[in-house]
Amino acid sequence: MSTDSLHALQRTSLEGLKLDWSYQFLTPQQLTDYASKRLPENFSDLREQLIKGCFENKSEGRQVTHTLSRSTESVVKDPKTSKFASIVRRLRSGNWLGATGKPITDIVNVGVGGSDLGPLMTSFALGEFASDVQQHKVTTHFVSSMDGGQLYAVLPVVNPETTLFIIASKSFGTIDTFANIDTVREWIKPAFYKAGKTEQDWVKDHIVGLSANPKAMTDYGIPAAHQLTFSQSVGGRFSMWSAIGLSIATTCGVRVFERLLAGARKMDEHFATAPVEQNIPLLMALTGLYNREERGINNLAILPYDGRFRHLPSYLQQLDMESNGKQCNHNGEAIDYPTGPIIWGGFGPNGQHAFFQHLHQGYDSFSADFVLVRRREGPQFTESVQESLAQQQDLSVANCLAHRRLMAFGYKGDSARDYYPGGHPSNLLVIDELTPETFGALIAAYEHKVFMQGVAWELNSFDQPGVERGKKIAVDVLKRMQGETDTSFDPSTEAVLKG
């Protein structure tokens, strides 16, 4: 981006969340022209269908209803009668007793992909809002990976008699999740047998199931009272607003969860009604499309400048890449144009000391989304600590703005060493103050951006056949490892299997 294309301030906002797209290549007029070229004629209808929960997921033959989990089908629509809310309250008040009569002190969410990333990201980001009603300390942990890596860290610090496991799995069949749960079952046995209890007692009192497959939960032995269900039509990567968000509520409280949904609903209304030039998700989608299609930029770096957003890049990787990383359109036909970019990134201030060198002077093109929280207060600290933290906040804001400028405008010093090409487009998402509402709105904005880009590329953004194929191959390899077949593979694979 040369200084010739330095545009005037382009900024739009929604209740404490601002999108500044001044550092994109498009001028407002070009953006409007591009929108008329890239938005299909029936885009308004498709958008309305999404918001009303009747957009069609063609390859899986069902509707797409995640927006309803924050409106008409919300698990906390009536917090007084909600099963979700009553489970959270029992756990957070110390009234949920384990099989040996002791109150639950630790909760472990066991799930992967959409059954992990959204709850983990949001619990971490909004953890400081947890102070509301918790009379009894309950700590929530997250376990996802099939290698059991997180169990090594979590199991030694929790007590089998006071730990409740959430099995979070839309399908209730994901091998990664059940591999972790099988290990947990081995781990609880000594304590339970010693106390004269059985594994069935453990399942009954120490498991809550979250799934779109109630039969599988019942078959597993989970009593109906400890099952929370959601619809098959809520995609896994869009499910943190549904029952899958239980661990967000056990961490932060039901009220915070309601506020999160309220923020997302605001973004739904905004997406549905704001004109293109003021519509945050549409602007993100259109500038992203332009970068991908017209500038050939194949990646987007997510660079949050606030530690509470640490898990945002991983969350957006699944949301975007699992949705739009495809070479087949929604009619099942091969396509020959580029689709969703590679999403990557990391916590900005640490990224500065790791990969920013490449961003400033490396060969490759990229685009970036900087995410900044403008104000943060720490009333729990003394005045002098608060002042020091405020200075740190200024330092972080200054660094974010500085690196963003250098990436956009570059710099030419006296030598090759002092040359920074610039020309890298970026968005700046500024959150005045992090609240459950602004966080919910931000995540919903990304969901709608992904939806709109999927529509423009004529994709079905709601399936993931590539991942399913990988899982099938893994089963073949595992069978061979366990001696069930004698299928042979390529030499490199064979070397490991025989090693």
**Residue 361 CB, nearest approach to ligand F6P (Å):** 35
Catalytic residue among 80, 353, 472, 498: 353
Token pair recorded at residue 496: 């490991």
Query: Given the complex with ligand F6P, which of 121 and 280 has the nearer CB atom?
Result: 121
Measure CA 368 to chain center.
Answer: 17
User: Candidates 112-120, 132-140, 428-436, 453-461 — which segment interacts with ligand F6P by CB under 6 A?
Assistant: 112-120
CA-CA distance, 129 to 338, in Å (whole number)?
41
**Residue 334 CB, nearest approach to ligand F6P (Å):** 22
**Residue 169 CB, nearest approach to ligand F6P (Å):** 3
- Find the binder of ligand F6P among 69, 174, 231, 247 (CB under 6 A): 174
**Residue 107 CB, nearest approach to ligand F6P (Å):** 18
- Name the helix (H) or strand (E) containing 372: strand 367-375
User: Candidates 5-13, 91-99, 113-121, 150-158 — which segment interacts with ligand F6P by CB under 6 A?
Assistant: 113-121
Binding to ligand F6P by residue 314, rule CB under 6 A? no
- Find the binder of ligand F6P among 47, 89, 170, 308 (CB under 6 A): 170
* Residue 234 near residue 66 (C-beta atoms within 8 A): yes
User: Candidates 169-177, 278-286, 377-385, 443-451 — which segment interacts with ligand F6P by CB under 6 A?
Assistant: 169-177
CA-CA distance, 81 to 79, in Å (whole number)?
6
Left, alpha or beta for 488 (phi > 0: left; psi -120 to 50: alpha)? beta
* Residue 147 near residue 175 (C-beta atoms within 8 A): no
Query: Given the complex with ligand F6P, which of 56 and 60 has the nearer CB atom?
Result: 60
Contacts of 400 (CB under 8 A, 6+ apart): 303, 305, 348, 370, 372, 428
Binding to ligand F6P by residue 287, rule CB under 6 A? no
Query: Given the complex with ligand F6P, which of 112 and 455 has the nearer CB atom?
Result: 112
- Find the binder of ligand F6P among 82, 115, 247, 287 (CB under 6 A): 115
**Residue 180 CB, nearest approach to ligand F6P (Å):** 11
361 vs 2, 406, 459, CA distance in Å? 15, 10, 35
Token pair recorded at residue 296: 């050939």
* Residue 375 near residue 438 (C-beta atoms within 8 A): no
Residue window 213-252: x/- pattern of binding to ligand F6P, with contact defined by CB under 6 A? -----------------------xx---------------
Binding to ligand F6P by residue 454, rule CB under 6 A? no
CA-CA distance, 157 to 215, in Å (whole number)?
33
Asked if 353 is an active-site residue, the reply is yes
Contacts of 216 (CB under 8 A, 6+ apart): 171, 172, 173
Catalytic residue among 128, 471, 479, 484: 471
Asked if 471 is an active-site residue, the reply is yes
117 vs 109, 370, 487, CA distance in Å? 11, 20, 35
User: How many CB atoms are located within 10 Å of the residue 379 CB?
Assistant: 5
CA nearest 161: which of 200, 189, 191?
Answer: 191
Total number of residues that touch ligand F6P (CB under 6 A): 14
Asked if 322 is an active-site residue, the reply is yes
**Residue 465 CB, nearest approach to ligand F6P (Å):** 10
Binding to ligand F6P by residue 467, rule CB under 6 A? yes
Three-state SS at 481: helix
Binding to ligand F6P by residue 396, rule CB under 6 A? no
Helix axis angle, 28-38 to 280-293, nearest 10°: 80
Binding to ligand F6P by residue 169, rule CB under 6 A? yes
User: Which residues are identified as catalytic?
Assistant: 322, 353, 471
Residues of the shown chain interacting with ligand F6P in the complex, contacts defined by CB under 6 A: 112-115, 169-171, 174, 177, 236-237, 322, 464, 467
